[in-house]
Structures are given as structure tokens and as C-alpha cells.
Structure 1
Amino acid sequence: MPRTEIDVPALTRMGDAVGQVAARLRETSERVDGWSHEGGRAVEGSITCSQMAGVAYDWFLELGQLADEVQRYGDDLKRTAADYRAYDELTARQLRQIH
């Protein structure tokens, strides 16, 4: 018989781990944003410095968006675990009432 159970604690731990990855991405994004401000002032009037500052700002935005997506994925894993547990408990209560 195929096994169909869901390891709810493991799924919740995965969601937490994914959330930690999102937090690290967010921290990296904020550090990159700091570099975008510094790069623009590195050499007064330098086109290269201002272009690099622009690229750093673009990376700041991209990493921030990625962090948001990863966080949503981690939250979805935890919500799925909680939903599974709740449905499993509901089904168990219903089965106890039948017998």
C-alpha cells in the first residue's frame, strides 16, 4: 500500500528554513543598496561610478523581490503543513463520531 502521510513537523521546518534564506536575501539586498549609494559618490562625476551605482540599485530591487518570493514559498509550506494537520484532525474527529 502506498504511503500518503505528510510529515507535518518536517514540512514546517522546511518552511522555516526557506524563511531564513529569504531573510538572508533581504539582508544582502540591503547591503547592496548601501553600495549603490556609496558607488555614486566614489568619484565625483564619474559615469562608470554612477552606472555601477545604478546596477547595484537594480540588484537591490531584484534581490528584494526574490526575497519576497522565497518568503511566500516558505509561508506556503508552513500554511500547507498547518492545513494538513487541521484537516487530518477534523477527519479523525469525524471518524471517531461514526464509530
Structure 2
Amino acid sequence: MDDMTSIDAPAVRAMGVAVTEIGDQIAEAAAVIPGWEYQGQRAVDGSTLCADQMSLTAMYWQVTLDGLGGLVRDYGGELRTAAGDFVATDQSAADRIQVAGKPG
């Protein structure tokens, strides 16, 4: 039974990059929302469009998606930072072990 725990820093870094890319995609989706308020015109025969309400709804949806994109991008950055911290901590421990093993 292997009691060792290890962290695959390159995998964590890759996850961070992937998460950041998803955050970028969410932000890109938010960027195209302006103008949606007119997409419902004549959707159904006899329908009317309340441009003010559609505009307000589109704006809220854009703000919400843009905020979500930022949160996801930040999480991706935190994963990449954690991966760097794992590598630095491992290197520091290895350096201390090497120094401890040398006669003084």
C-alpha cells in the first residue's frame, strides 16, 4: 500500500489553463449579448416587443455572464499559481534534504 501523496503540478497547471480558457469563452459569450434586445421582434405573428425590458434583461445577463467569466478566469489563475507553489515547495524541500545530508 502506497501511503505517499503527490501532486502532479503540470496537471494542475494544465487544469488552470483549461479553466482560464473556459472563463474567456464565457466572457466572449457575454460580449455578444448587446443587441439581443431586438432579436425577439416578430418572433410570433402578432407579438410585440418591449425593447426597454429586453434591453434591461440583456444588460443584466451580460453583466452576470461577464462576472462569471471573471470568476472562472480567476480560479484558473489560482490553479496555475498553486501549481507553481507546489513546484517551489518541492524544490525547497529537496534542497533542504540535500544540504542536511552533507557533512559540515
TM-score (norm 2): 0.82
For the structure 1 residues 90 and 54, does the alpha-carbon distance in structure 2 shift closer, same or farther, using more than 3 Å as the test?
A: same
- Superposed displacement of residue 29, structure 1: 0.5
Q: Which residue of 1 aligns with 2:90?
A: 88
For the structure 1 residues 96 and 34, does the alpha-carbon distance in structure 2 shift closer, same or farther, using more than 3 Å as the test?
A: farther
Aligned runs of 1:22-61 on 2, under 5 Å? 22-36=23-37, 39=38, 48-61=50-63
Q: Which residue of 1 aligns with 2:17?
A: 16
Larger Rg: 2
Letter in 2 for 1:15: G
RMSD: 2.0
Q: Distance in 1 between matches of 2:33 and 2:78?
A: 27
> What is the aligned length?
94
Gapped regions of structure 1 (runs ≥ 5): none
Overall identity of the aligned pairs, in %: 29
Q: Distance in 2 between matches of 1:34 and 1:66?
A: 20
Structure with more of its chain in helix, by fraction: 1
Q: Which residue of 1 aligns with 2:70?
A: 68
SS at match of 2:4: coil
After superposition, the C-alpha distances for 1:40-99 in whole angstroms (9 at most, x for unaligned) are xx6xxx761221111010000000100010011101111000001001001100100011
| Segments ≥4 residues shifted beyond 3 Å | none
Gapped regions of structure 2 (runs ≥ 5): 42-47
Letter in 2 for 1:76: E
